Amino acid sequence: MSMSGGEDRSPEEKFRLGVLISGSGSNLQSIIDRLHQGPGNIEIAVVISDNPGAYGLKRAEKAGIPTAVYPMSGYSSRAAHDLDMAEELARRGVDLVVLAGYMLIVTSEFLQRFPHRVINLHPSLLPAFPGGTPIEDTMAYGARVTGVTVHFVDEGTDTGPIILQEAVDIKYNDTVESLRERIHKVEHRLLPDAVQLIASGRAGFASENPRRVIIESD
């Protein structure tokens, strides 16, 4: 398999993350708590939000992590917005971009700057229920099982190669909020797991099918 991660780094070199958020940032918090400046040599180099009021920015500041805000309103096109953001991430030497509740779709101009280096967290078992309201859509459909997906980002919406998935049962009495809470618990474990796999060079693409991600323990 061809590897996608930090296998070329020297042991002293940190694997640097750029985390993009739009809201509460509870998943950012799980990366701060489990990985940032821990024994795995991973650090968050910057947290970026499109939303100046995102609570996740406060979480980052509390942890002493640099932050930046790029509101869409300041730009005439999504490509221009994303190129400025990509500049900032490159300037900070970011190895992996993590979309952790980032609600804008990133452009192909952005992805070209970080090939196989952008991952996204999504609260459903993709390819079921992509898009902006997956938990609501899952419940409205009457599905009995949903889950969490961490995947590499490609040019489609929630269509990139899957790194990790885990199922979550839907109970008859669930509300969107109670289900969201259980999904969050899984996300807070799965997203740091995926980052760690990539940072340690244990996630790669199968040579016979570049959509398939192989995890070294598979």
Instruction: Write out the residues near ligand GAR by the rule CB under 6 A.
Output: 21, 23-27, 56, 100-101, 121-123, 134, 184, 187
DSSP state of 200: T
Nearer to ligand GAR, 96 or 100 (CB): 100
Q: Tell me the closest approach of the beta carbon of residue 161 to ligand GAR, in angstroms.
A: 16
Nearer to ligand GAR, 27 or 146 (CB): 27
Nearer to ligand GAR, 21 or 197 (CB): 21
Q: Tell me the closest approach of the beta carbon of residue 104 to ligand GAR, in angstroms.
A: 10
Starting at the edge strand found earlier in the chain, the sheet holding 145-152 runs: 67-69, 42-49, 15-21, 96-99, 118-122, 145-152, 162-169
Does residue 122 have an active-site annotation? yes
Q: Tell me the closest approach of the beta carbon of residue 33 to ligand GAR, in angstroms.
A: 13
Task: State the residue number with the nearest CB to ligand GAR.
Answer: 101
Token digits for 138?
């899952």
Q: Tell me the closest approach of the beta carbon of residue 9 to ligand GAR, in angstroms.
A: 27
**What element of type H or E holds 16?**
strand 15-21
**Set 122, 151, 184, 188: catalytic member:** 122
Q: Is residue 168 within 8 Å of residue 181, measured between CB atoms?
A: no
CB-neighbour burial class of residue 39 (10 A; exposed 0-12, middle 13-18, buried 19+): exposed
Beta strands 162-169 and 96-99, pairing class = unpaired
Nearer to ligand GAR, 53 or 93 (CB): 53
Catalytic machinery residues: 122
